[in-house]
Structure 1
């Protein structure tokens, strides 16, 4: 065997091994990139679910607060009516006492 033939074979083997190693590195990098994208997507989905639950909790609390305000409004109306009736009775009693004197 000739020195140039050995050099050529070593060059071909080196080129082929470089291609194979490069190809496998690229495949591994693509796999890692897909994994990272999946992790990021999962994190975003988890955060979105957390935000949705928070918004749902706020809506429930707002609805509850509205119901409490409605109940307080009804109670206030009843108290105002009762106060008005008591005021009328007090006025009638005062007028009756003044006429009796």
Structure 2
């Protein structure tokens, strides 16, 4: 064979290897990107799920606190009414005591 044919074959083999290497590299990059993308989606979903669970837990806690506050407000209203009646009764008793002292 002459030197020209050998050089052409060497160049063709070199170009073929370059194209195959580029193709393999591209496929590997694409697969890694897809794999990483799927992994990121899984991690994001996991994080979102944990966040949602924590928010639900906090929401239930807030609801419980609201119920406790309503119950405390009812108890306070009841006590306010009872204190007002006791004050009226004490005022009436003081008037009766004053009337008895005046008679004595």
Superposition TM-score tier, normalisation by shorter sequence: 0.7 to 0.9
What is residue 85 of structure 1 aligned with on the other side?
92
Task: Decide which of 41, 60, 82 is 2:67's aligned counterpart.
Answer: 60
Task: Decide which of 7, 10, 24 is 1:3's aligned counterpart.
Answer: 10
State the TM-score, normalizing by the size of structure 2.
Answer: 0.81
Number of paired residues? 97
Structure 2 Cα separation of the partners of residues 11 and 81 of structure 1 = 103
Q: Report how far residue 3 of structure 1 moved.
A: 2.3
What is residue 39 of structure 1 aligned with on the other side?
46
What is residue 29 of structure 1 aligned with on the other side?
36
Q: Report how far residue 43 of structure 1 moved.
A: 2.3
Structure 1 Cα separation of the partners of residues 14 and 88 of structure 2 = 110
Kindly report the root-mean-square deviation, in angstroms, between the aligned alpha carbons of the 2 structures: 1.6
State the TM-score, normalizing by the size of structure 1.
Answer: 0.83
Q: Report how far residue 39 of structure 1 moved.
A: 1.9
Task: Structure 2: give runs of 5+ residues left out of the alignment.
Answer: 1-5
Q: Report how far residue 8 of structure 1 moved.
A: 2.3
What is residue 50 of structure 1 aligned with on the other side?
57
Task: Decide which of 73, 96, 100 is 2:103's aligned counterpart.
Answer: 96
